[in-house]
C-alpha cells in the first residue's frame, strides 16, 4: 500500500512529506521532482509569495544511489519566507506578542472561524497556517514519486485548465494537446486554446482590479492506464470514489467530476454511455467515446482516466466581505493578507499529484512487488492475460 503524509505550515521553517510503500529500486530523478514543484509555482493571478520561494525537494531518507530502497521516503521543502516569520511564530515558548499578525476577523470561506472554534483559539493564525494551499507543495513532491513509479509502467499524467471565472474552453482537447500544455512553462493559464486563454487572462485581470478572486475548473488526465484497477466489489474499493476524495481534499476544491459526470445527470442514457465494439485486428475492445472518464463500476476500463476539480474562488479578498470579530463579536470586515486571486493552473498540478498517488496505490494493490522488477513482472503477466482475453 502506498501511503503519504505531509506536515508543515505556510510560514513555518519547511514543508515535509513522507511516502511509504514504493517498491525498491525505483529510479528517482530529483530534477523531475523539482520541475514539478516549479510547475506548481507558476500561473497567472498569483500573489507575491511565489517571488520569494524557489521550491526544491531535499531528500532525507528512502533513496540511495538515485533509487528507492523500499524504506519510507522523507523529504523537505524549505520555506524561504520563514526568515520573515521566525520571530512571530517561534517554535519555542516566547513572550513575543504576534501583534498585527493576529487574525481575529475570520475570512468567510476559509478555515479561520470553524478551525479556531474547533481548536479553541481566538486567533485564526494558528489555523490558516496549516489550512493554506502552500501545503500542496508537499503533495506535489510526494506525487512526483508516484509519477516516477507510474512512468515505469507506461502510465502518464497531465492537466490543463478548462475554466477560469466565467470563461470556459468550449472544445474537447486531445491527450497530445493536454500533455503539451501541461508541460508548457510559458503558458500563463495552461489552456490548450490561446484565444480562450487570452479571455481567461482578462477575467483574472478584472478580478484583480475589482479586489476580487476567481475560481475555475482543472482537468487531470491519466493516460495508458490498464483495465482493472480498483474494484466494484466494495464501496471503499471503488477507484472513482478514491479519486474524488483525493481531488476534493485539495484546498478550494468544492466539486469533483469524473468524465462527463455533471452533464450526464441531465442527459438521456443513450447520450451518455460509451458504446463498446471489438477491434479484431488490434485484438482489443474499443469504446466509441469516453464519457465515463475511464471508470466503469469503480474499475478502470483502459480508456484515459479523466478527473475534474471545481475550484471556488479563493476566500482572501482585497475587497473584504463582512464577518464578525472573534474577540469583540462586533461586525467587521474580514482580514486581508497577501494572497493569490487565481490558482487554477497550480491547483491542476496538485490535482495531478493526488491522482498519481491514488493510481500508484491502485497499481501496487493490484500488482504488488517489493522491488520494481517484481512489480513489473506481475504487471507484464497480467497485461498478457488482458491481451489474451
Ligand atoms: C501558497 C502560498 C501562500 C498563498 C496561497 C498559496 O502564501 P502567502 O500566504 O504567504 O501569500 O499565496 O495560499 C492560499 C491561497 C491560502 O488560502 O492560504 C502557495 O505556495 O501555493
pLDDT in tens, 289-305: 999 999 999 999 999 99
Rounded distance between C-alpha atoms, residue 301 and residue 297, angstroms = 9
Looking at residue 99, its pLDDT comes to 67
Atom of ligand 1 nearest to the CA of 252: 17
Measure 10 CA to ligand 1 centroid, in angstroms.
7
Residue nearest to atom 20 of ligand 1 (CA): 134
How would you label 256-277 residue by residue, b for 16+ Cβ within 10 Å and e otherwise?
bbbbbbeebeeeeeeebbbeee
Q: What percent of the chain has pLDDT over 90?
A: 94
Looking at residue 239, its pLDDT comes to 98
Looking at residue 317, its pLDDT comes to 94
What is the tens place of the pLDDT at every residue in 121-137? 999 999 999 999 999 99
How confident is the model over 370-376, as a mean pLDDT?
Answer: 98
Q: Helix (H, G, I), strand (E, B), or coil: what is residue 2?
A: coil
Task: Give Dmax (Cα) for the chain.
Answer: 76
Q: For the purposes of burial, counting CB atoms within 10 Å of the CB of 30, is it exposed (0-12), middle (13-18) or buried (19 or more)? A: middle
Residue nearest to atom 16 of ligand 1 (CA): 132
Determine contact, residues 136/250, Cβ cutoff 8 Å.
yes
Looking at residue 96, its pLDDT comes to 64
Residue nearest to atom 17 of ligand 1 (CA): 132
Looking at residue 379, its pLDDT comes to 98
Rounded distance between C-alpha atoms, residue 149 and residue 33, angstroms = 12
How confident is the model over 24-42, as a mean pLDDT?
Answer: 98
Looking at residue 120, its pLDDT comes to 97
Instruction: Round the average pLDDT of the chain to a whole number and report it.
Output: 96
Among all chains, which residue has been given the C-alpha cell 455533471? 262
**Ligand 1 site, residue 291, Cβ cutoff 6 A:** no
Measure 62 CA to ligand 1 centroid, in angstroms.
29
How confident is the model over 22-47, as a mean pLDDT?
Answer: 97
What is the tens place of the pLDDT at every residue in 301-352? 999 999 999 999 999 999 999 999 999 999 999 999 889 999 999 999 999 9
How confident is the model over 149-169, as a mean pLDDT?
Answer: 98
Rounded distance between C-alpha atoms, residue 314 and residue 252, angstroms = 7
Looking at residue 337, its pLDDT comes to 87
pLDDT over 80 at 264, yes or no: yes
Looking at residue 101, its pLDDT comes to 81
Measure 331 CA to ligand 1 centroid, in angstroms.
26
Residue nearest to atom 2 of ligand 1 (CA): 134
The grid cell for 125 is 493564525
Rounded distance between C-alpha atoms, residue 389 and residue 376, angstroms = 20
Domain range 3-259+294-387, its CATH number among 3.30.300.30, 3.10.20.30, 1.10.287.110, 3.60.150.10: 3.60.150.10
Looking at residue 154, its pLDDT comes to 98
**Ligand 1 site, residue 79, Cβ cutoff 6 A:** no
Looking at residue 377, its pLDDT comes to 98
Looking at residue 97, its pLDDT comes to 66
What is the tens place of the pLDDT at every residue in 55-104? 999 999 999 999 999 999 999 999 999 999 998 888 988 776 666 689 99
Measure 301 CA to ligand 1 centroid, in angstroms.
37
Measure 134 CA to ligand 1 centroid, in angstroms.
5
Looking at residue 93, its pLDDT comes to 85
Measure 311 CA to ligand 1 centroid, in angstroms.
15
pLDDT over 80 at 388, yes or no: yes
Among all chains, which residue has been given the C-alpha cell 466489489? 233
Amino acid at each position: 500500500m502506498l501511503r503519504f503524509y505531509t506536515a508543515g505550515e505556510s510560514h513555518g521553517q519547511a514543508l515535509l512529506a513522507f511516502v511509504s510503500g514504493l517498491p525498491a529500486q525505483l529510479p528517482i530523478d530529483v530534477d523531475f521532482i523539482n520541475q514539478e514543484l516549479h510547475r506548481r509555482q507558476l500561473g497567472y493571478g498569483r500573489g507575491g509569495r511565489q517571488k520569494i520561494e524557489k521550491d526544491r525537494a531535499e531528500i532525507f531518507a528512502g533513496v540511495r544511489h538515485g533509487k528507492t530502497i523500499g524504506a519510507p521516503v522523507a523529504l523537505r521543502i524549505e520555506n524561504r519566507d520563514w526568515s520573515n516569520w521566525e520571530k512571530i511564530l517561534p517554535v519555542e515558548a516566547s513572550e513575543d506578542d504576534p501583534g498585527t499578525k493576529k487574525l481575529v476577523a475570520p475570512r468567510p470561506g476559509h478555515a479561520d472561524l470553524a478551525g479556531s472554534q474547533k481548536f479553541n483559539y481566538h486567533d485564526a493564525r494558528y489555523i490558516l497556517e496549516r489550512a493554506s494551499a502552500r501545503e500542496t507543495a508537499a503533495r506535489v513532491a510526494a506525487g512526483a514519486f508516484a509519477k516516477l513509479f507510474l512512468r515505469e509502467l507506461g502510465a502518464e499524467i497531465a492537466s490543463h485548465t478548462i475554466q477560469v471565472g466565467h470563461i470556459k474552453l468550449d472544445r474537447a482537447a486531445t491527450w497530445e494537446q493536454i500533455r503539451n500544455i501541461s508541460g508548457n512553462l510559458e503558458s500563463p493559464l495552461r489552456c490548450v486554446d490561446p484565444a480562450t486563454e487570452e479571455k481567461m487572462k482578462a477575467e483574472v485581470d478584472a478580478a484583480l482590479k475589482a479586489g476580487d478572486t476567481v475560481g475555475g475548473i482543472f482537468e487531470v488526465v491519466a493516460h495508458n492506464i490498464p483495465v482493472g484497477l480498483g474494484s466494484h466489489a466494495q464501496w471503499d474499493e471503488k477507484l472513482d470514489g478514491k479519486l474524488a476524495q483525493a481531488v476534493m481534499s485539495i484546498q478550494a476544491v468544492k466539486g469533483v467530476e469524473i468524465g462527463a459526470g455533471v452533464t450526464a445527470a441531465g442527459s438521456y442514457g443513450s447520450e451518455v454511455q460509451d458504446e463498446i465494439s471489438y477491434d479484431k485486428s488490434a485484438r482489443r475492445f474499443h469504446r466509441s467515446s469516453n464519457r465515463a472518464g475511464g471508470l466503469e463500476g469503480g474499475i478502470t476500463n483502459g480508456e484515459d482516466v479523466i478527473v475534474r476539480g471545481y475550484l471556488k474562488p479563493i476566500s482572501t479578498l482585497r475587497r473584504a466581505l463582512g464577518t464578525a470579530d472573534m474577540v469583540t463579536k462586533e461586525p467587521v470586515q474580514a482580514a486581508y493578507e497577501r494572497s493569490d486571486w487565481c490558482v487554477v493552473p497550480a491547483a491542476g498540478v496538485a490535482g495531478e499529484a493526488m491522482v498519481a498517488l491514488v493510481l500508484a496505490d491502485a497499481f501496487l494493490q493490484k500488482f504488488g512487488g517489493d522491488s520494481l522488477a517484481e512489480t513489473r513482472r506481475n504487471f507484464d503477466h497480467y497485461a498478457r492475460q488482458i491481451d489474451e482475453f
